[in-house]
Structure formats: structure tokens, C-alpha cells
Amino acid sequence: MEYIFLAYPVVGLLSGVLAGLLGIGGGLIIVPALLFILPYQAGPSVSSIHVAVATSLATVIMTAAVATYSHHRRGAVSWPIVSRMAGGLAIGAFAGAAVADALPADILRNCYGVFALGVAAHMAFRSQPAAGALPGGLGLLGVGMLIGHISAIVGIGGGTMTVPFLRWCHLPLQQAVATSSACGLPIALGGTLGFTLLHPGLDGFITGCIHWPAALGIGMASLLAAPWGVRLAHQVSMVALNYIFSIFLAIVGVYLLIG
């Protein structure tokens, strides 16, 4: 498996398309992929799941930035919502990184499976959001802290929670996806900073649990692919997008629980 590192750009292309299409930041495909790839490389002094989580958050920085810019050009991002949630998202993600770093590997892995299956079920069986109103500034800050905290624990950009929340607040699905992409950036920044500062540096190309060759290989490829996903998001029907979201999450959840 000498050339296993060549898988990083492939993962990046797939995660970039999914980030633009579903607003998930690519994390839910990056972490399972890294769990498969990392054991074939030089073993770090921490578990593969912790490295996968931290590295995923680092790649989300690049993916979310490009996806956000693409959505912004189409006028789909609700910046007032993003600005009110950003502080809470970053603080919650930093705290979530501390929790993830302290969790045993098996528990952290199972958290992924249960989380992904739960969100898949919600999206599949509640495709039409219940009535709700957009919270005020403090409410959005609190929601942001909660989403950021959970997102950092499972190494994602938060779209699996931000999109359903914004749909509950009656944002159109395409606008919810676009706004979620923008919300993924403070999550990724806060979580990456947390893993970098809270965990001792490691040897080689791994610092603070972040595997930099993987982060750069996946992240650079995702930069190219994210705009493709954005174009698809503005062409696919709402119903189809909902089912794509739920089916994808169900597959990931089952894989993590039994893989």
C-alpha cells in the first residue's frame, strides 16, 4: 500500500462535491475514508479515529470557504444568520475538540454511527419541517454553540444539524444548504484550533492530531470539486436533495457501526 496517499485527492473530490451539494462540509465522507487509509501509513501515537476527526475539520476549512463563495455568488447565503451564529459555532467547536480528544476511540467511533443514523432518519421521515420561527440573536448564538460542539466531536462542518435547523425556521432548502456551508467555516476553525492547542504535538507530519498530508491532499482536491456540488444544489429538486442527504447519512452510519 505504498501509494495509498493517492487516495487523498479522490476523497477530496468526493467530499468537495458533497460539501457543495449538501452543505455538510465533506466531513461525513472524510472521516470514514481516513479510518480506512490511516492504518496503512505510519501509525501515530494517538488513535486513527482522533486523527481522522481532527484532520477532517482542517480540510473543512478549505471546502467550506470555497463552497460558501460559490453559494454567495448566487445570492443564496443568509449572512445575518451566519453573523449571529458564528461566535457560538467557533466557541462550541473549540470545546467539542476538547471533549473528542478525551473520549476513548471506540466510544468516539460509535458516536459517529449513532449520530449519522439519527440525522438520516430525521431527514427521511420529516422532509417537511415543522413550524418554527428564527430565534433572536442570543438564541442563534446558543444554537451555534450546540451545533459547533457536536460538530467538532464528530469532525464535520455542522450541516447535518444546521440544515434541518434552518429548514425548521422555514428557509428554502437551497438557502439552508448555502447558509450551512458558511456556518461550517467557524466550526472548522474553532475545532482545528482546539485540536492543535489541546493535544501535544506528534512526530513527522502530524501535529495536534492533524495529519497534514491528508488534510492538504483532500483539501486541495475539494477546492476544485465544491463548485460542482454547488451547481448541482441549484439544479436538483428539494425532494431529491432531501433523500440524497438521508440515504448518504444512513450508509455512513451503518458503515461506522459495523465497519
* Per-residue pLDDT at 17: 79
CA distances (Å), origin 50, targets 102, 158, 241: 9, 18, 30
* Per-residue pLDDT at 83: 94
Question: pTM for the full model?
Answer: 0.82
36 burial level (CB within 10 Å; 0-12, 13-18, 19+) = middle
DSSP secondary structure code for residue 200 in this structure: -
| CB-based contacts of 201, cutoff 8 Å, min separation 6 | 207, 208
**Any domain includes 1:** no
Of residues 206 and 157, the one with the higher pLDDT is: 157
Cα 242–243–245 angle (5° rounding)?
65
**Any domain includes 2:** no
CB 169 within 8 A of CB 80: no
Note the helical H segments in 103-172. 105-125, 137-154, 159-168
pLDDT band (50, 70, 90) for residue 35: confident
pLDDT digits (tens, 9 = 90+) for 178-232: 898 899 999 999 999 998 887 766 556 677 788 888 888 898 888 788 777 777 7
pLDDT digits (tens, 9 = 90+) for 46-77: 567 888 899 999 988 888 888 788 888 888 89
Mean pLDDT of 135-150: 92
Mean pLDDT of 159-169: 84
CA atoms within 13 A on the CB side of 216: 5
Query: How far is CA 132 from its chain centroid?
Result: 25
* Per-residue pLDDT at 44: 52
Show the cell assigned to 149. Answer: 460542539
**Any domain includes 142:** yes
**Any domain includes 84:** yes
131 backbone φψ class: left, alpha, beta (φ>0; ψ -120 to 50): beta
**Any domain includes 186:** yes
**pLDDT beyond 80 at 235:** no
**Any domain includes 196:** yes
What is the widest separation between alpha-carbon atoms in the chain?
Answer: 53
Show the cell assigned to 119. Answer: 440525522
Q: In the chain, how many domains are there?
A: 1
* Per-residue pLDDT at 125: 74
**Any domain includes 226:** yes
* Per-residue pLDDT at 79: 94
As a whole number of angstroms, the distance between CA 113 and CA 79 comes to 32
pLDDT digits (tens, 9 = 90+) for 77-136: 999 999 999 999 999 999 999 999 888 888 888 888 888 888 778 767 765 555 567 788
Cα 185–236–13 angle (5° rounding)?
50
Show the cell assigned to 27. Answer: 466531513
Mean pLDDT of 153-170: 85
**Any domain includes 4:** no
* Per-residue pLDDT at 47: 67
Q: What range does the domain containing 185 cover?
A: 9-258
